[in-house]
Amino acid sequence: MRSMGIEEEFLLVTPEGHPTAVAPTVLWHAAQVRDEPSVEPGGDVEKEFKREQIETSTPPRTLLGELLDEVRGGRARVDSFAQQAGARAVALGTAPQAVESTVIPDRRAQEIRSRFGMTAAEQLTCGCHVHVEVDDDEQGVQVLDGMRRWTPVLLALSANSPAWQGSHSDYASYRSQVWGRWPTAGPTAPFGDAAGYHRAIEALLESGTIVDDGMVYFDARLSSRYPTVEVRVADVCLDAEDAVLQAALVRALAETALATGPIVPQPRAELLRTATWRAARSGLTGDLVSPVDGLPRPAAVVVGELLSHVGKALAEAGDLEWVQRHAATVLRRGNGAIQQQAWRAQGADDDEVVRRAVARTHAV
């Protein structure tokens, strides 16, 4: 089976629940206990763009149970370092409160802050990135082109950012709207082959708009660090199991794309942008755009279409029963946005929402 890995970005918050700029201190504590370098990637606590956030990554794993253990272990590890800095790590796509966030003391980050103005200044968002192993770039592009119409469904399942700068946004994933301000963010047109993909990257670099290829913020891209496809569309998931659901679906989408070959016809990028916006707006509570025919369908129906599309790949990996069961749980219980809204209905203010989210982040 293809290996998978998950990167998760977290907000750093005070015990009372307000974002706090302690990432350098958290990283210092992590460095004090760092083991000898591992031969496999992942497992580290890493810097992000802002001092109010931090990132973890899992090593590559093939079994869902092992991957879930790695996700929970990474969350516990980063939270222990955060606590040594007087903070907690929480899986929220955006902070509920109004925050004036601060860029890390890093030359590249400061250049991005200078070049991109308010887009960079306000960019305090946390995502979930899934890596799935591919043999080479040709195979990777076949996966990218084959899964592209399904990425809005992944966003709907993960949506966990209904608030922005102290206000209710009326979106399930406002993170995706803020993230979409970057010039390279969002869905892409099909690339066709590896040469077409690399021509697109070179054209972006030659435009002088982005700092480097690390700023290629497509919803799904070839990783520049590992032999993987990296799917970046999701919010960081409130529940650890939801992050593993993302990984299982991404691997199944990759296997399905490779088994079925090129998709003809491919949906236009304009339709994918519309479908992604629809997923961000209502998440699992309204209609989504069906990747099958482009028509509106209830979210549960579209999630069912995704499971049907990847069912054979899930069964071959031994993942089908777990994925079906946990997808049903998400539809019944709700994604992170629905859970946050339920806490609001119970009377929770911004700080209480964060405190409850801390508990959910680290629940076992």
- Residue 166: predicted pLDDT: 95
Residues of the chain with confidence (pLDDT) below 50: none
E strand segments, the chain: 4-13, 45-47, 53-57, 88-90, 127-133, 163-164, 167-168, 220-222, 228-235, 287-289, 296-298
pLDDT of residue 36: 65
Who contacts 2 (Cβ-Cβ below 8 Å, separation ≥6)? Answer: 62, 132, 133, 134, 251, 254, 255
SS3 184: coil
186: three-class secondary structure by DSSP: strand
**According to the model, what pLDDT value does residue 295 have?**
97
CATH class of 4-361: alpha beta
Closest CA to 182 of 211, 151, 156: 211
Look at residue 42 in the predicted model and tell me its pLDDT.
84
Q: What is the pLDDT of residue 264?
A: 75
Backbone angles phi, psi at 297, to 5 degrees: -140, 150
Residue 361 pLDDT: 98
Please report the pLDDT score of residue 35 as a whole number: 67
Task: State both tokens at 78.
Answer: 């980063």
